[in-house]
Amino acid sequence: MAQAPVSYVSPRARFGLILPATNTVVEAEFNWMRVPGVSFHSGRIDIKNPDLNSDDAMVAFLEGLRTTIQDAVKRVCHCLPTYMVMGMSAETFWGGKNGAAEFEQFMGEVSNGLKVSTGAQAAQEALNKFGAKKIGIITPYQAVGDQQVVDFFTQCGYAVHMIHGLRCSSATSIAEVSPETIKEAFRKVNAPDVDALLQAGTNLPAAIAAAEMEVELGKPVVAINTATVWHAYRTNGIMDKIDGFGRLLSEH
C-alpha cells in the first residue's frame, strides 16, 4: 500500500489502537510508555454485553466482536495510521496458534494491508527474547478463556506450569483489580523451575505490578500491554529503551 504522509507530531509512527469500548487501562498504560514522535489513535470496539460471569457469557462476548472490530478498524483508518496495534488480547489467543495467525490476517484485510501487533504475537516474541521455556500465566478470564491461552502457548512449544484466572465478572470490572491482587496471582503461578511469568487481559492494570514482581522474583514478568507496546515499537524500528516497566523495555 502507499506510504502514509508524515504527521508533524508523530513522524516516527501513527499507531491505530483497537480496544474494547469497556477498556479503561490500555490507553493509560500505552501513554505512560509513549516515546517522542509516536502517537496512539483509538478505535473502540462496540460491546453489546460486557457480562463475563461464566464460560458461556465469555464465549458470547467474543463471538459478537468480529463485526464490531472491523467497524473500529475502519473508523480509525480515517486518520491514516501507519501500523495497527491490538489492545485486546483474548481474541488474539482464541483458536490457539492457528487462530492467532488467522486473526492477524483478518486485521490486515480490514485495515487495507496494515501490519499489526497483537497480544499473542507480542507475548510469544517477548518470551522468546528471554529464552523462556516453562511459564506461569495470570488472566482476568473465566476457565474457557484460560484454556485458549494455555492452548496457544502449548502449541507454540512452551510448558505451562500453571494458569490462574481471576474470573472477573464483567469487562469493566477487570480494571478494578488491585495491584496487590495481581502480584499475589503472579506469586501463585511461580515456581523455582518457571522461567518467566506472563499476564494476559489488556484491561488488567498490570504494567507496573509486573515490573515490581520482576524485582521481587528475580525473573522476567511480562505484562501484555508492555509486551504489545514493545513489539509495536521494535517492529517499526523504534529502539528507545524505557525504564519503569521491566526488563523487556529497558533492556531489549
Domain ranges of the chain: 13-120+226-251, 122-224
Question: d(Cα 119, Cα 44) in Å, to the nearest integer?
Answer: 17
* pLDDT beyond 70 at 51: no
Q: Which residues pair with 85 in a beta bridge?
A: 17, 117
- In this prediction, residue 81 has a pLDDT band, given cuts at 50, 70 and 90, of very high
| 3-state SS assignment for residue 207 | helix
Question: d(Cα 4, Cα 84) in Å, to the nearest integer?
Answer: 13
* pLDDT beyond 70 at 2: no
What is the predicted pLDDT for the residue at 120?
97
Element (H, E) at 137: strand 134-139
In CATH, 122-224 is 3.40.50.12500? yes
* pLDDT beyond 90 at 160: yes
Q: What CATH number belongs to 13-120+226-251?
A: 3.40.50.12500
> Do you know the residue count of the chain?
252
* pLDDT beyond 80 at 144: yes
* pLDDT beyond 90 at 167: yes
* pLDDT beyond 60 at 178: yes
- In this prediction, residue 3 has a pLDDT band, given cuts at 50, 70 and 90, of low
What is the predicted pLDDT for the residue at 66?
67
List the one residue out of 32, 36, 39 whose CA is nearest residue 82.
39
Average pLDDT in the 186-208 region? 98
Question: d(Cα 86, Cα 249) in Å, to the nearest integer?
Answer: 18
Top pLDDT among 59 and 155 is at 155
What is the predicted pLDDT for the residue at 52?
74
The model's pTM is 0.94
* pLDDT beyond 80 at 38: yes
Question: d(Cα 180, Cα 184) in Å, to the nearest integer?
Answer: 6
Question: d(Cα 74, Cα 168) in Å, to the nearest integer?
Answer: 30
* pLDDT beyond 60 at 1: no
Least confident of 3-7, 117-121, 133-137, 156-160: 3-7
- In this prediction, residue 47 has a pLDDT band, given cuts at 50, 70 and 90, of confident
